[in-house]
Amino acid sequence: MTKIVIVGGVAGGASAATRARRLDEQAHIVLLERGPYVSFANCGLPYYVGSVIKDRGKLAVQTPQSLHARFNLDVRVQSEVVAINTAAHEVTVRNLQTDETYVETYDKLLLSPGAEPVRPPLPGADLDHVLTVRNIPNVDRVTAILDEEHASSCVVVGGGFIGIEMAENLAERGIRTSVVEMASHVIKSIDADMAADLHAELRKGGVGLRLNTGVSAISQEGDSLAVHTSNGETLPCDFVILAVGVRPESAIARNAGIACGPRGHILVDDRMHTSAPDVYAAGDAIQVVDFVTGADTAIPLAGPANRQGRIAAENMLGGDCRYTGTQGSSVVKVFSLCAASTGLTEEAARAQGIAFDKTYLTQGHHAGYYPGARMMGIKVLWDPQTGKLLGAQAVGPEGVDKRIDVIATAIRLGADVRDLASLELCYAPPFGSAKDPVNMAGFVAENVLSGKLRQFFPEDVADLPRDGSVTLLDVRTPHERVVNGFIDGFVNIPVDEIRERADEIPQGKPVYVHCKSGQRSYIACRILTGLGYTCYNLAGGFDRWSAATRG
């Protein structure tokens, strides 16, 4: 009989435990969890704070009792592993209720300790009402401050997933909320030009947004706190949420001599095996391979943690399953918008010196003639030589996750960006269009790679010469320019008038064209190309340029 000891529950550990039982009814499986809850919906915590999830009990996905009843697991909560002896195949466990310690032997050991929120070394970071959000006791503290102390204001430090989800849910509860973020934009997994739509949505929802801004200190001011920012501003509030990132809880592994990476993540091979005999690891504490680039990275997400736990269980029981890497597919809700992404961002590609081409498109989330269609923006990156898909992002209402899921699958299967054009996707007017946005992204990329379409981008607009050496053309209607504004230097000739007014466009000069989204300007470019002009189309159109410059 194999004895498996698992350190840490939630996604990776609980998945490994239940998978192991399904594979081996005779195995002795011990699951040790330091906290009071062995399996809980940590991704649901902000929505409990916001009263979207009203029943606190719904956060506990499984209990020790339910796991024992269904899977015959020996689950011990409030049991902290304080040491590992890899040579003796033993762990030392402290019972946090009694403070007693004991030794547990193992045949196979899985480490799934997760990652803890970073508490930066700021003056005042340890004050009573400066909180982090990782588990149910954390949100119990937040809800107590809201419900019992009747707090009315909060500063969220950090604009990642947890920070933005907490800010949204606090604002929905009527709490005056500000977000302070050191980077130029929120949500690192999308680029600044796409995050601009989220910035507008956050402000529309009543969230104060301070970008390119750090926190220098937090101080107690009577019964309240004050957050002091790097630009000299002071933000008074009743409590602070620190959401500036996470670090792996890998000290127990390091102390046992198990190899860890430069940022402290436990090193594993593609079978989830560590450097120690019979010791495996999964979840947020491990270093993984980026599926797109092949580089070492760390991407703390629930989906990969579950898969890693499953693979570890297979291999602990004699299987040969392989983990092929993480591509970082994710989605976040921001009031009425969603932002989803997969693979590389433009910022990440530039930082790693990876060549790419890109495009944007804007299209309704379902057929335009069906009531209620709202626009979504999509950005796709690919290798300019091979067309290999590198990444994609989308911001909009419903359906954003569907489109990124399709592209994430295409990336996983090694697709060329042009393959998106031939995908046969579900269509009915309430759900999409006959030419789905994913197909349209493939059509645009086909045109770019074949040379039928030359693009320029929002970041290029300011540097275009206004000295007459090029022609700058706005092919929207005059009414659109009045209502929505215009880009300085662009002359207006509506797309449907280009053939009749072509004599107003000088020959021999490059023509840079834009419309609202890039579709009409592409048609204009095809007309002009047929008339002998060299034409460039503004990818994403006026709307993407406007959002990107608005920030």
Q: Which residues are designated catalytic?
A: 43
Strand ranges (E), 149-306: 153-157, 176-180, 208-210, 215-221, 224-229, 234-237, 239-242, 246-248, 279-281, 288-289, 296-297
Determine contact, residues 511/536, Cβ cutoff 8 Å: yes
State the Cα–Cα distance between residues 206 and 177, nearest whole angstrom: 7
How far from 482 is each of 476, 492, 501, CA to CA, in Å?
A: 11, 11, 21
Structure token pair of residue 471: 């022609």
State the Cα–Cα distance between residues 310 and 283, nearest whole angstrom: 11
State the Cα–Cα distance between residues 447 and 467, nearest whole angstrom: 30
Residue 430 in 3-state DSSP? coil
Exposure class string for 476-515: b at 16+ Cβ within 10 A, else e: bbeebbeeeebbeebeebbbeebeeeeeebeeeebbbbbb
State the Cα–Cα distance between residues 183 and 527, nearest whole angstrom: 42
Residue the block writes with tokens 């996905």: 61
DSSP state of 187: -
Residue the block writes with tokens 């009694």: 98
Determine contact, residues 362/376, Cβ cutoff 8 Å: yes
3-class SS string, 464-532: CCCCCCCEEEECCCHHHHHHHCCCCCCEECCHHHCCCCHHHCCCCCCEEEECCCCHHHHHHHHHHHHCC
Strand ranges (E), 270-388: 279-281, 288-289, 296-297, 330-334, 337-343, 357-364, 375-382
Structure token pair of residue 111: 């480490």
Determine contact, residues 545/538, Cβ cutoff 8 Å: yes
